[in-house]
């Protein structure tokens, strides 16, 4: 029993690394999900005031229309939407909730599907997101150094904030992708007894769908 446990030790260490990489990704994803509430509130306020209040006489005469549908409000909508989307990419990967469009998947065996996921993550997802994150860091750094602001006088300034999330989101996806790759490696090359601990059953399932 001791020899068996020792043989699993390096693989269990890899799974602990996978857990450590996944944990902050999931926590950030859960945290930013609360941003849906202010996003919905801003969109409703913007739509209702634009439709029913903006053209009222007293609103026009007092220049309130400029504040009811200000560039800052428009900026807030797409900023919140972008932050949610960017931070949700890694969360979807970590939770295996992304949609797969693979015509060959159903024709492969269990290990074949695992290999598709492993090779796809290793040679497509990770290199692409690494390049993407590096390029986005340049956008963020330029905005930070030059103190980039909004073009409109009353838009949301400090453009480095939203451009930071353009870099932060891909980094989260890289962490989630690395976590999934480690789990797949343990499933493919490690002891069979650890297969349930890899949490890759859904990935290897023939009829898996993120909508199930």
At 158-182, the pLDDT tens digits run 889 999 999 999 999 999 999 999 9
pLDDT averaged over every residue in the chain: 85
Q: Domain limits of the chain? A: 2-204
| C-beta of residue 149 within 8 angstroms of C-beta of residue 158 | yes
Q: Is the pLDDT of residue 211 over 50?
A: no
With tokens 């992304």, the residue in question is 98
Report the C-alpha gap between 128 and 9 in whole angstroms: 32
Averaged pLDDT, 144-160: 74
Question: Burial code of 177-207, b = ≥16 C-beta within 10 A, e = fewer?
Answer: bbbbbbbbbbbeebeeebeebbbbeebbeee
Residues in the chain, total = 212
Report the C-alpha gap between 21 and 44 in whole angstroms: 37
| pLDDT at site 188 | 96
At 13-25, the pLDDT tens digits run 999 999 999 999 9
Of the two residues 140 and 209, the one the predictor is more confident about is 140
The DSSP code for 190 is S
| C-beta of residue 143 within 8 angstroms of C-beta of residue 60 | no
List for the chain the helix, strand, coil content (%; round to 5): 80, 0, 20
Q: Is the pLDDT of residue 109 over 80?
A: yes
Give percent of the chain above pLDDT 90: 56
Under the banding of pLDDT at 50, 70 and 90, the label for residue 3 is: very low
């Amino acid at each position: 029993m001791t020899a068996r446990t020792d043989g699993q030790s390096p693989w269990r260490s890899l799974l602990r690394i996978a857990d450590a990489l996944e944990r902050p990704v999931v926590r950030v994803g859960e945290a930013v999900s609360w941003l849906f509430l202010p996003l919905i509130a801003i969109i409703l306020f913007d739509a209702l005031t634009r439709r029913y209040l903006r053209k009222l006489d007293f609103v026009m005469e007092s220049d309130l229309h400029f504040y009811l549908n200000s560039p800052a409000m428009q900026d807030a909508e797409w900023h919140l939407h972008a932050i949610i989307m960017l931070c949700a990419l890694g969360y979807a990967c970590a939770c295996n909730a992304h949609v797969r469009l693979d015509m060959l998947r159903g024709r492969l065996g269990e290990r074949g599907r695992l290999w598709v996921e492993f090779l796809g993550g290793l040679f497509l997802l990770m290199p692409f997101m690494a390049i993407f994150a590096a390029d986005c860091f340049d956008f963020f750094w330029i905005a930070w150094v030059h103190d980039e602001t909004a073009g409109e006088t009353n838009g949301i300034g400090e453009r480095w904030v939203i451009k930071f999330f353009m870099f932060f989101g891909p980094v989260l996806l890289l962490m989630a992708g690395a976590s999934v790759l480690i789990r797949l490696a343990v499933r493919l090359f490690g002891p069979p007894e650890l297969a349930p601990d890899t949490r890759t059953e859904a990935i290897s399932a023939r009829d898996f769908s993120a909508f199930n």
